[in-house]
Amino acid sequence: MALIEAMDAWFRMYADRANNAYKNYPAPVGRYGDPTWPEPFKPAQIIRMAFRDKDRLIDSTDHVLVQKWAGRDKG
């Protein structure tokens, strides 16, 4: 509920452990500007950010891990 409401206004969300639930409260009006959301990412951009940019995407048989698993590791 808080995530849906937070698309248009600022909210504070915290865990209410006694009731095993989350509580959300709106921020005071005028304290912060309107939230701005970036344009949605394409799936290819998400994969690139999550894997390729961190050298975690195995995209060929020449990848270091494939070579290691095949017993062709030189190190």
Residue 71 CB-density burial (10 A; 0-12 exposed, 13-18 middle, 19+ buried): exposed
Q: How far apart are CA 75 and CA 73, in angstroms?
A: 6
Per the CB < 8 A criterion, the answer to whether 11 and 29 are in contact is: no
> In what helix (H) or strand (E) does residue 66 lie, and over which residues does it extend?
helix 64-69
Q: What pLDDT does 4 receive? A: 80
The residue ranges of every structural domain in the chain are 1-35, 38-75
pLDDT in tens, 26-67: 988 888 888 777 788 887 887 777 776 666 677 788 888 888
Q: pTM here?
A: 0.41
